[in-house]
Amino acid sequence: MTPRVGVPRTGVFQRIGQGRTPREMAADLGISLKTVDVHRAHPNAKRDLAHMSDWVRHAVRWVGA
């Protein structure tokens, strides 16, 4: 599988909200597990979310909207 270049962080964000595992996210997006981990490790500054738990909560609400 060839990884897609410039995969938006929103793809990982959406899958967090869907309750997907990091391995499932990597497979869905065609990116490495390490890339998923990098995106998960840095909560989105634009949304002013300091902690991963805040990010997950926001992702769940965003997916449900």
Confidence of residue 25 (pLDDT cuts 50, 70, 90): very high
Q: What is the mean pLDDT of the chain?
A: 77
**Domains defined along the chain, listed by start:** 9-64 (1.10.10.10)
Closest residue by Cα to residue 43 from 33, 27, 54, 32: 54
Q: How far apart are CA 5 and CA 62, in angstroms?
A: 24
**Are 13 and 62 contacting, i.e. CB atoms less than 8 angstroms apart?**
yes
Q: How far apart are CA 40 and CA 55, in angstroms?
A: 9
Low-confidence winner among 1-5, 9-13, 28-32, 51-55 (lowest mean pLDDT): 1-5
pLDDT score of 5: 43
Mean pLDDT of 29-58: 76
Higher pLDDT, 64 or 45: 64
User: What confidence tens digit (pLDDT) does each residue in 8-22 have?
Assistant: 677 888 888 899 999
